[in-house]
Amino acid sequence: MSAQPKPTGYRRAGDAGLNYRRVRDATLALCATLAPEDTIAQSMPDASPVKWHLAHTTWFFEQFLLAHFDPAYRRFRVGWDYLFNSYYQTVGPMHARPQRGLLTRPTLQEVVDYRAHVDAAMGALLRCRGVDHEVMARVTLGLNHEQQHQELLLTDIQHLFSLNPLQPVFRDAPAAPESGAVVQLQFIAGGHGIVEIGHGGEDFAYDNESPRHRELLHPHAIANRCVTNAEFREFIDDGGYGNPSLWLSEGWDTVCREGWSHPLYWDDALETTFTLAGRRAIESTAPVCHVSFFEADAFARWAGSRLPTEAEWEAMAQDHPVEGNFADSEFLRPLPAQAGDHANLLQMFGDVWEWTASPYVGYPGYRPATGALGEYNGKFMCGQWVLRGGSCATPAGHVRASYRNFFHPGARWQFSGIRLARDT
């Protein structure tokens, strides 16, 4: 695709039309180095082709804003609502997710034209109704939804490229900042007793982050940084993947069935890993990533620790600045911890999503949104686990302390990593 302006991302305050254009342009900018052939393929059922991400995020605005608020709007193409609906059953049927890679038509250019068509109509809608509360609530949801797909686009293209024997480069990454002394792993006491977690402000948050509520925390401590590649290598060298006593039953079954012996993208020699900048030497002091909940849990047990609960994590993070190595830094890989001065608590945001010990369920008093948009989060509260903090592929400004990501426990293609906790 042709080069696009460098993304600047979503801003919570400011002109509605400008925010809209920032996010939409940022999605296309991510595709600047891709050829049309790169955008079609689907590497596994859990991933989607780039072309589908571009169309689905556009469908969201067409379906939930233009078709809802603009009686004069006409859909760009008949049948595309079927192709690019994801899981909104109350809206209508959809093309099967595992078959998205078979959609050679519409072409990439037609999808780009679709984006331009919807963007023009959205610009007109925002000029007319940009101060309407209901319109802006949906626009804000749509922009945050698109930012989620920007991260998925990166993780999905990394998985696709990793399966190509040519090991193509998505984008050259800048050199990492010079590392200082290795930050030693330490445990920081967390608060205990009654604490409040969950979103309680006026800024945007997803419905699964509410309501703000009380949780009882027992005495505990949380690691000052994420687990590194070198530390995870010790687990491997000690036979961690061959010791069933370290694994949950379903995790051990998964290890045996899938033949896991190291994190996703590591080579069998444990020397290199595949990244968005191609195959590179494993950086020993960088956070280990592309590990499942099962691997995170097994490592924690091997280390004499455990994973933090999401309440422990949020209680520790909610007074911490939301700063870190996000996608906007353009490293697109986790970086080693750098000594800081915020209570010596490092890497809480960015670098890697951190698995927690908490299943993804609703908070006390949780109610999903009404209508089709109520399908966004609530119906997935079964069999998944919560991750916190964002990653090096997450757009800056997208996450907050109350943000709850969630995946099945065997998922590894996201930038998912490990922070340890202990009872005290």
**Beta strands 353-359; 416-417: pairing state:** parallel
Question: What was the pLDDT predicted at 12?
Answer: 52
- CA angle 264/270/273 to nearest 5° reads 50
- pLDDT (0 to 100) of residue 176: 82
Ranges in the chain, pLDDT < 50: 2-11, 13
> For position 371, what pLDDT does the model report?
85
pLDDT at position 7, please?
Answer: 40
Distance CA 274, CA 324 (A): 22
**For position 343, what pLDDT does the model report?**
62
Looking at this protein, which amino acid is placed at residue 60? Answer: F
**pTM of the predicted protein model:** 0.95
Provide φ and ψ at 289, rounded to 5°.
Answer: -145, 175
Q: What is the pLDDT of residue 419?
A: 98
Number of Cβ within a 10 Å radius of residue 383: 10
Query: What was the pLDDT predicted at 341?
Result: 56
The pair of structure tokens assigned to 124 is 């007109």
Instruction: Count other Cβ atoms within 10 Å, centred on residue 17.
Output: 16
Residue 173's pLDDT is what? 87
**Torsion (CA) 342, 343, 344, 348 in degrees, nearest 10:** -70
Q: What is the pLDDT of residue 392?
A: 98
End-to-end CA, the chain: 54
CA distance 109 to 261: 41
